[in-house]
């Protein structure tokens, strides 16, 4: 894991086409914007986990009891 310190207005680049813009720092909270191509899905981890669970459930339906 790479750990970085950034200030408001600075940018973190990921690859050639993804950028994290540091928008605001407020105590322990950081607000950032994500700039990514249209085809790249961006989700919070807990949302992504639910999407994966639903896709798995749809791919392997349980028989009715």
* Residue found by looking up tokens 């749809």 in the block: 58
Rounded to whole angstroms, the Cα distance separating 29 from 41 reads 23
Question: Average pLDDT in the 7-31 region?
Answer: 95
pTM of whole model > 0.85?
Answer: no
Q: How many CB atoms lie within 10 A of CB 35?
A: 14
Question: Predicted confidence band at 56 (pLDDT cuts at 50, 70, 90)?
Answer: confident
Strand 29-35 and strand 18-26: the pairing is antiparallel
Mean pLDDT over 3-11 rounds to 94
């Amino acid at each position: 894991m790479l750990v970085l310190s950034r200030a408001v207005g600075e940018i973190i680049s990921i690859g050639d086409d993804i950028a994290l813009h540091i928008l605001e720092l407020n105590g322990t909270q950081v607000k950032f914007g994500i700039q990514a191509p249209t085809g790249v899905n961006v989700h919070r981890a807990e949302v992504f986990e639910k999407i994966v669970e639903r896709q798995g459930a749809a791919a392997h339906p349980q028989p009715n009891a």
